[in-house]
Amino acid sequence: MKEISCKLLVMGAGPGGYVCAIRAGQLGIDTVIVEAVKAGGTCLNVGCIPSKAMIHAADEYSKATEMASGRSPFGITVSTPAIDLAKTVAWKDRIVGRLNAGVTGLLKKAGVKAVVGWARFRDGKTVEVDTETGLQVIRAETIVIATGSAPVELPFLPFGGPVISSTEALALKQLPPELVVVGGGYIGLELGTAFAKLGSKVAVVEALSRILPQYDAELTRPVAKRLDALGVKVLTGAKARGLSGKGDALLLEAADGTEQKIAADKVLVTVGRKPQVESWGLEEIDLDRDGPFIRIDDQCRTSMRGIYAIGDVTGEPMLAHRAMAQGEMVAEIVAGHKRAWDKRSIPAVCFTDPEIVTVGLSPDEAKAAGIEIKSAQFPFSANGRAMTLSGEDGFVRVVARADNHLVLGIQAVGTGASELSAAFSLAIEMGAQLEDIAGTIHAHPTQGEAFLEAALRTLGHALHI
Ligand code: FAD
Ligand code: NAD
């Protein structure tokens, strides 16, 4: 048994943990990070990055298919395209591998000691790690729990065989001819759309009355329209019941109460993720919980002195950039800086077709908070750049206080809209008023001009509509 001591120990090297460790290392803190699987966590290895790689590959293939069928608006024709999914997955794995090595290199450059193995609390200051070379005991003044999350399993559809989670879906070497997705949220729709574009016959079973229920209906309408055009069957208000006896179909109760059966080579279950709070000794330190999550305050402190928690294990929104921002903040707090969570908003992007971006409050959320608002949207159908990209469906919407024009929220749905999220977040974080956006020159021709026009329209004098 080996023993080491350090000032800061980070458990888990996902976006939360590795960013925390890198920043701590930069600040000269003697830091150890423990990771059981691979640096980069869910996001880099089986989440954000591989899913966006597969979505992009599917888009490319879908464009080629459109060209081959003579439906390309650009007048391009190609002979019948083909896809070798094993090669696509290998390409995706190379991207993941490069980023994986990148994170390991960044940790090293920051002087962080990386330990590979499963960490478990002995007490509030001591963690033991099962490493390949035996048990490693690490004593630390401060510990950051960044253990992330795992897919929720449905008891009547346990993972295994044809029932898969996003992790297996991102590693399939052969396209399932028929794919049923249970859960029409982020993962189900991002991956369901990609598989439909790759050529699978896709059905989505969503329990609530509409897909992506976390977004307002105006934002999700273009996505529903596109799913329809791609031939994706969407069953809302439907309850999955289990696999058929032969395991080749999903049994469900439709919205009208009828029992139905949909043929499925694979059933992708994407009904949410749960915090990873098992098997690392939470019972040894008995931290306060917030539902299933670890309760934290505005400095990510848990109920035990010297123990912080960040990322998915601490609650919604379970997004990589939230985890990273928390990780950076905690490292600075450990270094003695005065920091607290003071972010005005956390952007969210759904990489469907078209993409959805939300930052800050929607009109309904602002009204529900009792704020009198001004709001308007500018359609991409009136934006030159969107037309050149064949991305005319969708809009940018701005929500501002009626009295002082402070921008409270910005949302968009449109092809390539994800890249607008930076401008939206900056505007809200900097406390922009409508006049600030309206007074900023936006390059022409860009989709960003729709943001300018939405602000102008909220002020009552849009120029291009
Ligand atoms: P994780 O990334 O889950 O990392 C936790 C790490 O801790 C893991 O590597 C795990 O092995 C390790 N670990 C856990 N317990 C121990 C232990 N006891 N000892 C040692 N190591 C341990 N978010 C976005 O913002 N944008 C996206 O586009 C996006 N796409 C996604 C797509 C998919 C398919 C999925 C599944 C998720 C996606 N997410 C996305 C969510 C994002 O992946 C998570 O919010 C993010 O990874 C959370 O980071 P984290 O550091 O909290 O935890
Ligand atoms: P989700 O919460 O986005 O969607 C789950 C969906 O499943 C919901 O619409 C819910 O109503 C539905 N559902 C729940 N139980 C059901 C049942 N029994 N039958 C049918 N439908 C059911 O969850 P997810 O898609 O699994 O993603 C998990 C998390 O990962 C997200 O909340 C998000 O935080 C993160 N994520 C983010 C991105 C991104 O930022 N682009 C992408 C993927 C994942």
Atom 36 of ligand 2: nearest residue by CA position:
186
Burial class of residue 214, CB neighbours in 10 A (0-12, 13-18, 19+): middle
| Residues 277, 270 contacting (CB under 8 angstroms) | no
The pLDDT score that the predictor gives to residue 115 is: 98
Distance 206 CA to ligand 2 centre (A): 10
Give the CATH number of domain 348-459; options: 3.40.50.2300, 3.20.20.140, 3.30.390.30, 3.40.50.300: 3.30.390.30
Distance 322 CA to ligand 2 centre (A): 17
C-alpha atoms less than 13 angstroms from C-alpha of 411 in its C-beta half-sphere: 24
Rounded CA gap, 298 and 340, in Å? 6
Give the CATH number of domain 163-271; options: 3.30.413.10, 3.90.1150.10, 3.50.50.60, 3.30.420.40: 3.50.50.60
Question: Do 2-48+88-151+274-334 and 348-459 come out as alike in CATH topology?
Answer: no
Which is the closest atom of ligand 2 to the Cα of 240? 19
The pLDDT score that the predictor gives to residue 194 is: 98
Identify the nearest ligand to the CA of 170 by its number.
1
How far are the Cα atoms of 45, 48, 116, 248, 382 from residue 96, in angstroms, in the given order? 6, 10, 18, 32, 38
Consecutive H or E run containing 128: strand 126-131
| Residues 235, 373 contacting (CB under 8 angstroms) | no
Mutate to test the pocket of ligand 1, among 103, 147, 187, 268 (most ligand atoms within 8 A of CB): 147
The pLDDT score that the predictor gives to residue 71 is: 86
Per residue of the chain (465 residues), what is the pLDDT tens digit?
A: 789 999 999 999 999 999 999 999 999 999 999 999 999 999 999 999 999 999 999 999 999 999 999 888 899 999 999 999 999 999 999 999 999 999 999 999 999 999 999 999 999 999 999 999 999 999 999 999 999 999 999 999 999 999 999 999 999 999 999 999 999 999 999 999 999 999 999 999 999 999 999 999 999 999 999 999 999 999 999 999 999 999 999 999 999 999 999 999 999 999 999 999 999 999 999 999 999 999 999 999 999 999 999 999 999 999 999 999 999 999 999 999 999 999 999 999 999 999 999 999 999 999 999 999 999 999 999 999 999 998 999 999 999 999 999 999 999 999 999 999 999 999 999 999 999 999 999 999 999 999 999 999 999 999 999
Q: If DSSP codes are grouped into helix, strand and coil, which group holds residue 33?
A: strand
**Angle value at C-alpha 128, between 124 and 129, nearest 5 degrees:** 140
Residue with the two structure tokens 């004593």: 139
Q: Which of 56, 405, 442, 444 is catalytic?
A: 444
Active site residue 56: no
- Sequence spans of domains, the chain: 2-48+88-151+274-334, 163-271, 348-459
Q: How many CB atoms lie within 10 A of CB 6?
A: 20
The pLDDT score that the predictor gives to residue 1 is: 75
> What dotted CATH number matches 2-48+88-151+274-334?
3.50.50.60
Ligand 1 binding pocket includes 312 (Cβ within 6 Å): yes
For 206: left if phi > 0, alpha if psi spans -120 to 50, otherwise beta; the answer is: beta
The pLDDT score that the predictor gives to residue 217 is: 96
